[in-house]
Structure 1
Amino acid sequence: MTKIIGLTGGIGSGKTTIADYFKELGVPVYIADDGAKRVMQSESIIKELKKAFGESLFDDNILNRAKMAEIVFNDADKLAKLNSLVHPAVIDDFKKWVSEKKEYEYVMYETAILFESGRYKECDVIITVTAPEEVRIERVLKRDNTTREQVLSRMNMQWNDEKRISLSNFVINNDNLKIAKEEVVKILKILNIKQNQS
C-alpha cells in the first residue's frame, strides 16, 4: 500500500521548492494547486463556478484566477464555497494519480491547506515547511503581482506555523535552502526511502 506524505506550509514558505527537491530525489509529488488548475478547466467545474461566482470571472470561458483570488482571499465564506467545489475534484484527481504510482512506497501530496481542508487525516507522514514571516512576505511579493496587505490577508486565512507544527511529524525551516535540502535528505533516511543517485 502506497503511503502518503503530506507536505504543507504557509504562503511563501517555499514548500514547492522543497517538494521539487523530494521529487529530484525520487519521491513522486502531486502539487494540489496544479491539480486544482486542471480540474477548474473541466466543464462541470466551470459551470459550478459560474453559478457560484458569476460569468464576469471568465474571459472566453477561461477563469481569471487573479479576479477569483481577489474575491476569495477577502471573504472567508466565498473561499469556503470555492474549496467545496474544487477540493472534491482535486481529491478524485489525486486518488487516480496515486493509483498509477503503486510501485512507490511513498508519494507526496503538497498543499497549503492540508490541515484546513482536513486532508492531513489521510496522510501517513506530515511535513511542515516554515520560514520567517518577513521572508515569506518578500517571496510572495517577488513571485506574485500583489500587495503586502493582500499577502497578509492570505496568511491570516491559513493556520499559523505553531498550529501546523503541533500536528506534524517533521518540520523543515526553509530560510536557508542548503540547510533545508539537508533536512530533506535526513527525512528520506528516517523514512528509509531510497534516493535517486543520479
Structure 2
Amino acid sequence: MSYVLGLTGSIGMGKSTTAGFFRDAGVPVWDADAAVHRLYAKGGAAVGPIGDICPDATAIGKVDRAALKDWIARDASALARIEAIVHPLVAKDRADFLSRNADAPLVVLDIPLLFETGGAEKMDGVLVVSVDAEEQRRRVLERATMTPAMLESILARQTSDAEKRAKADFVIETYEMEEARAEVQALIAKLNEGAHA
C-alpha cells in the first residue's frame, strides 16, 4: 500500500517545479491539472458531455477553454454543471493512477486546490510549498498572461498560504530550488523509510 502524499501550494509557490523533483527521483506523480487537460483534449472523456450542455464550448473534437470561461462568466449555473461532469472523471483518472502505482512505496498527488476541495483529509500526508507574498507576486506577475487584478482574483478563491502552512504535515520553501530539491529528497527518504518500518 502506497503512502499518498498530497502536494499543494498557492499560485507562484513552486509547486510544479517541486512535483518535477519528485518525478526526477522516480516517485510516481499524478497532476490534477494535467488530468483535466487530458479530459478536455481531442478524444477526452469530458468533451462529449460538455458539448451536450454547452455546444459552443467544444470545437474540433475538444473543449474550447476560452469559450468555457465565457460561459462561466455569463451563466451563474455553468460552473456547477461543468464540475458535475469533470469532478467524477478526474476522480476516476486519479483512482486509475493509484491502482497502476499500488506497488510504489510513495506516490504524490499534485492538486492545486487540495484544501479548498476537502481532499487533504484523504491523504496520508500533505506537503505545502511556499514563499512569502512579495516573492509570490513577483513570480506570478512575470507571466505574460497575468495581471495584478487576475492574481487578486485567484488568491481570493484560494485558502491563504498561512492557513495551508498551518494545516500541512510538511512545508518546503522554494526560494532556492536546489535547496528545495534536497529537501524533497530528504522527505522521500524519510517517507520511504517509514513505509518499510
Q: Same fold (TM over 0.5)?
A: yes
Decide which moves more: 19-28 or 68-77: 68-77
Superposition TM-score, scaled by structure 2 size: 0.83
Q: 1:112 to 1:173 in 2, by over 3 A?
A: same
Q: Which residue of 2 aligns with 1:155?
A: 155
Q: Is the 8 A contact 1:131 1:174 kept in 2?
A: yes
In 2, Cα distance between equivalents of 1:144 and 1:82: 27
Q: Is the 8 A contact 1:73 1:154 kept in 2?
A: no
Q: 1:70 to 1:167 in 2, by over 3 A?
A: farther
Residue 21 of structure 1 and its aligned partner are, at CA, apart by: 0.3
In 2, Cα distance between equivalents of 1:17 and 1:70: 30
Letter in 2 for 1:45: A
Decide which moves more: 173-182 or 18-27: 173-182
In 2, Cα distance between equivalents of 1:45 and 1:161: 31
In 2, Cα distance between equivalents of 1:121 and 1:51: 33
Task: Say whether residues 1:48 and 2:49 are aligned partners.
Answer: yes
Residue 14 of structure 1 and its aligned partner are, at CA, apart by: 1.2
Secondary structure of residue in 1 paired with 2:5: strand
Letter in 2 for 1:29: V
Residue 107 of structure 1 and its aligned partner are, at CA, apart by: 0.5
Alignment identity in percent? 28
Q: 1:140 to 1:113 in 2, by over 3 A?
A: same
Task: Say whether residues 1:10 and 2:6 are aligned partners.
Answer: no
Q: Which residue of 2 aligns with 1:133?
A: 133
Q: 1:78 to 1:61 in 2, by over 3 A?
A: same
Q: Summarize deviations over 1:131-164 as a string: whole Å, max 9, x none.
A: 2223333333334523221122011111111221
Q: Which residue of 1 aligns with 2:178?
A: 178
Q: 1:76 to 1:116 in 2, by over 3 A?
A: farther
Secondary structure of residue in 1 paired with 2:13: coil
Q: Which residue of 2 aligns with 1:35?
A: 35
**Structure 1: tracts of 5 or more residues without a match:** none
Q: 1:146 to 1:63 in 2, by over 3 A?
A: farther
Coordinate RMSD, CA, aligned:
2.7
In 2, Cα distance between equivalents of 1:55 and 1:160: 36
Letter in 1 for 2:106: Y
Q: 1:76 to 1:160 in 2, by over 3 A?
A: farther
Residue 69 of structure 1 and its aligned partner are, at CA, apart by: 4.6
Q: Which residue of 1 aligns with 2:22?
A: 22
Letter in 1 for 2:100: E
Task: Say whether residues 1:92 and 2:92 are aligned partners.
Answer: yes
In 1, Cα distance between equivalents of 2:148 and 2:86: 27
Q: 1:134 to 1:84 in 2, by over 3 A?
A: farther
Q: Which residue of 2 aligns with 1:119?
A: 119
Q: 1:71 to 1:178 in 2, by over 3 A?
A: farther
In 1, Cα distance between equivalents of 2:181 and 2:76: 34
Query: How many aligned positions are there?
Result: 193
**Structure 2: tracts of 5 or more residues without a match:** none
